């Protein structure tokens, strides 16, 4: 039967089916990809929130060991409470320490 259609119309119905499938996939990609782009900022913000919680716990652990709060995050890094990477959020903005509280750059 497909050979008969090819002889009559000059094309195979399989090629048309493939074109339709590719068109449907293209439409789905056009609908999904823009939604993924907007999620990047949300993911970075939630990652930063989690990092602030972790660093705040390390500030409290430093207080328990030293009976004083650190003056900066560098002191926590030098005493191996946090790493250099843990001083910055995923987007590269630096965390800060005000008194005993770690400040989230997204909140400021």
Which residues are within 8 A (CB) of 70 and not within 5 positions of it... i.e. 6 or more apart?
59, 62, 76, 79, 97
What pLDDT score does 6 carry?
Answer: 59
What pLDDT score does 10 carry?
Answer: 62
Question: Region 68-92: what's the mean pLDDT?
Answer: 91
What pLDDT score does 40 carry?
Answer: 76
3-state helix, strand, coil in the chain (%, to 5): 65, 5, 25
More confident of the two residues 5 and 45:
45
Kindly report the CA angle at 30 between 26 and 36, in degrees rounded to 5?
Answer: 130
Question: Region 59-74: what's the mean pLDDT?
Answer: 93
Q: Is residue 59 scored above 90 in pLDDT? A: yes
Q: Is residue 53 scored above 90 in pLDDT? A: yes
């Amino acid at each position: 039967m497909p050979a008969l259609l090819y002889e009559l119309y000059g094309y195979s119905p399989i090629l048309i089916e493939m074109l339709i499938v590719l068109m449907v996939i293209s439409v789905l990609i056009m609908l999904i990809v823009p939604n993924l782009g907007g999620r990047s900022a949300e993911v970075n913000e939630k990652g930063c929130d989690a990092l602030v919680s972790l660093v705040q716990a390390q500030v409290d652990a430093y207080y328990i060991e030293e009976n004083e709060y650190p003056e900066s995050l560098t002191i926590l890094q030098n005493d191996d409470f946090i790493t250099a990477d843990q001083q910055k959020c995923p987007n590269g903005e630096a965390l800060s320490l005000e008194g005993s509280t770690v400040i989230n750059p997204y909140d400021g």
